[in-house]
Every structure is written in structure tokens, then in C-alpha cells.
């Protein structure tokens, strides 16, 4: 019988190794049922390496997704990567939720924890949604948001896969609702995606505030002028990563503050230990990172779709 304990106040759980057992010896069925129930599992004491991370995750995954902005680890595949370069704070987000290509599972594995700080943060999107003020809920139920950003040619080719051509990209995107795009002369891709910030969880079909609006939100210069209403359309560069309402209006700063206030009360922490592995339901949990000052910190990650 595995030892399992709550991780913070959400549904997340820590799963402890028994007698230094290999993570590869765990029952796939048992792990999957725990994952469906809890949504975030931290496996501790199994001494997981990045090779074992890949082998373990393959048991649950039909397909892996390459993040074009992260460094690949090892020589044998293109999917185990290091987390974001730098040591800054990373704001709450869900992987690829600003696109129609949201993966099911986010995997993390700790090789070297930071000497201090650098915790991975997480938020249960179901609880965030439950605790948001009714006025904020009604706003987002009545209005969708639009994300926009640019992919340079190098990065969209990595994202869509080796050998992908512009015609391949067009064929893929032309068949997806709520996507607008433009191929520029330099083969960069200007991309817009419209969606609700409220997502149905993959397991349980619950409403969850699992999105990336905090990460993409930028306060427009106009809002710094007290005579300018927050309801005006922002003047922004087409090259910037942005989120705003589908009608082009800026999300009010006060609404963002309301969301942050709720999330601040629900923040969970993963204080890394070497060999830890984390499995996150990308439809139920958001994640982020606390800033740190240790260049030796090394966390591996990859993204995957769950086997049907």
C-alpha cells in the first residue's frame, strides 16, 4: 500500500516510495486512478532520473508535445526539456492554453533543486473558480477572451514538428475554429486564439479557471492616464503577447486584481527534492514558479496527451 498525503489544501497529493522502489514498478492503473481523482501527484523518494521520467510518462501518454522555447535534454529524444531559462518568477498559467493545442499532462522532474526558493507553485482551478466574486464569474461567462502573439519560423517549425511546411500549418489551422492567423513575409506566424477562460476539467467535467490570462495580461499605457477609461481598446504592438476580450476591449485591471487576490489565498508549493517527479492535470491546475538565485537549479519537463 502506497503512502499518500495531502499536498497543501487542494486535492493535490504526495505519493511516497516504499523501500526505495522504482517508480517504474508502480501500477499504471493505480497511478491513473489517483491522477483522475487528485489532478496533481508529487512522487517523492523514487529517485527519478530524466530517462525514467520519459519511460514512466510513456505508460500514460499517446503523444508528446515539444515546447519550442525550451532546451532539449539528452540525445535520445526531442521531448524531455529543461524548464524556462532564467531565474525570475513565472506567473500562473496552463501549458499551451493560449492555443487550441492544450496538452493533458504536464510533467516535471527535479535533478537539482535550488539552494533556496525556486519552488514550483500551483493552483486548483476548480477552487479558484468557486471563490471568484460572482461579478467576475458573470463577466467571464458572458465574454470570451482573445490571445495573440507571434511565432518566428524557427519556433513554429519546432512546435509543429520536423519537416512541417507553411502549407502544413495552413491546413492544420484552417480546420480549427476560433483561430485567426497570418503568415508574414519572413515566415513568422501571427496568431490569435479566442476561447473561454472557464474550462471543463478532463475528469469530472467541473468548471475550472485554468487559463493563462495572468501570464499574458499587460496593462496598456492608456490606463495610466486617469482620464482614460479601462474600457477603451488598447493601443498595442502586433508583435506583443497579449490577452483582451473578444470584442477588443481591455480586461479591467480591477478584475485582474480580484483574480490575483483569490489565487494568492490558494497557492500551493512544491519544495523540490532531487528525484521528485510531478504529474499535473493541465485542465484542472495552473502552475508557476517562485524566483530564485541559483544557477545550478535543474528541473526537467515535458508535455503529453493522455492515452485514450
> Domains of the chain by range and CATH?
3-126+264-306 (3.60.130.10), 145-195 (no CATH)
Q: How large a percentage of the chain has pLDDT more than 90? A: 74
- pLDDT of 295 reads 86
Nearest Cα to Cα of residue 111 among 288, 301, 289: 301
- Over 60: is that where the pLDDT of 236 sits? no
- pLDDT of 109 reads 94
* pLDDT digits 0-9 by tens, 189-208: 999 999 999 999 999 999 99
> Which residue, chain included where needed, has cell 486512478?
33
Q: For residues 199 and 282, is the Cβ–Cβ distance under 8 A?
A: no
Q: Which three cell numbers stand for residue 112?
A: 537539482
- pLDDT of 308 reads 87
- Over 90: is that where the pLDDT of 83 sits? no
Nearest Cα to Cα of residue 118 among 276, 5, 262, 12: 276
Full-model pTM: 0.90
Contacts made by residues 16-21, CB under 8 angstroms, sequence distance 24+: 16/44, 16/45, 17/43, 17/44, 17/45, 17/46, 17/47, 20/45, 20/46, 20/47, 21/46
The more confidently predicted of residues 224 and 187 is: 187
The more confidently predicted of residues 231 and 167 is: 167
DSSP string, 249-307: PPPPHHHHHHHHHHHHHT-EEE---TT-EEEEETTTEEEEE--B--TT-EEEEEEEEEP
Q: What rounded mean pLDDT belongs to the chain?
A: 89
- pLDDT of 159 reads 81
Partners of 278 in beta bridges: 42, 108
Q: Name the band, by pLDDT with cuts 50, 70 and 90, for residue 223.
A: very low
Amino acid at each position: 500500500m502506497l503512502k499518500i498525503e495531502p499536498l497543501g489544501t487542494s486535492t493535490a497529493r504526495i505519493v511516497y516510495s516504499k523501500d526505495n522502489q522504482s517508480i517504474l514498478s508502480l501500477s499504471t492503473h493505480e497511478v491513473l486512478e489517483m491522477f483522475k481523482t487528485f489532478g496533481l501527484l508529487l512522487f517523492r523518494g523514487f529517485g527519478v532520473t530524466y530517462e525514467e521520467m520519459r519511460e514512466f510518462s510513456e505508460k500514460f501518454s499517446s503523444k508528446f508535445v515539444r515546447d519550442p522555447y525550451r532546451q532539449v535534454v539528452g540525445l535520445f529524444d526531442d521531448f524531455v526539456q529543461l524548464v524556462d531559462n532564467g531565474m525570475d518568477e513565472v506567473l500562473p498559467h496552463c501549458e499551451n492554453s493560449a492555443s487550441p493545442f492544450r496538452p493533458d499532462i504536464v510533467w516535471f522532474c527535479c535533478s537539482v533543486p535550488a539552494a533556496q526558493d525556486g519552488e514550483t507553485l500551483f493552483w486548483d482551478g476548480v477552487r479558484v473558480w468557486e471563490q471568484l466574486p460572482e461579478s467576475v464569474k458573470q463577466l467571464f461567462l458572458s465574454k470570451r477572451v482573445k490571445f495573440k502573439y507571434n511565432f518566428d519560423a524557427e519556433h513554429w517549425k519546432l512546435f509543429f514538428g520536423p519537416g512541417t511546411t507553411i502549407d502544413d500549418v495552413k491546413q492544420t489551422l484552417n480546420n480549427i475554429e476560433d483561430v485567426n492567423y497570418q503568415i508574414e513575409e519572413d515566415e513568422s506566424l501571427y496568431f490569435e486564439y479566442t476561447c473561454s477562460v472557464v474550462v471543463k476539467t478532463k475528469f469530472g467535467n467541473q468548471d475550472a479557471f485554468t487559463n493563462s490570462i495572468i501570464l499574458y495580461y499587460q496593462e496598456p499605457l492608456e490606463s495610466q492616464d486617469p482620464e482614460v477609461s479601462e474600457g477603451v481598446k488598447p493601443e498595442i504592438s502586433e508583435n506583443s503577447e497579449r490577452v483582451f476580450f473578444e470584442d477588443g476591449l481591455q480586461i479591467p485591471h480591477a478584475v485582474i486584481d480580484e483574480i490575483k487576490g483569490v489565487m494568492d489565498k490558494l497557492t500551493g508549493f512544491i519544495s523540490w527534492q532531487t528525484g521528485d517527479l510531478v504529474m499535473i492535470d493541465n485542465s484542472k491546475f495552473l502552475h508557476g514558479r517562485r524566483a530564485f538565485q541559483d544557477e545550478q537549479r535543474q528541473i526537467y519537463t515535458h508535455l503529453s496527451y493522455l492515452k485514450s
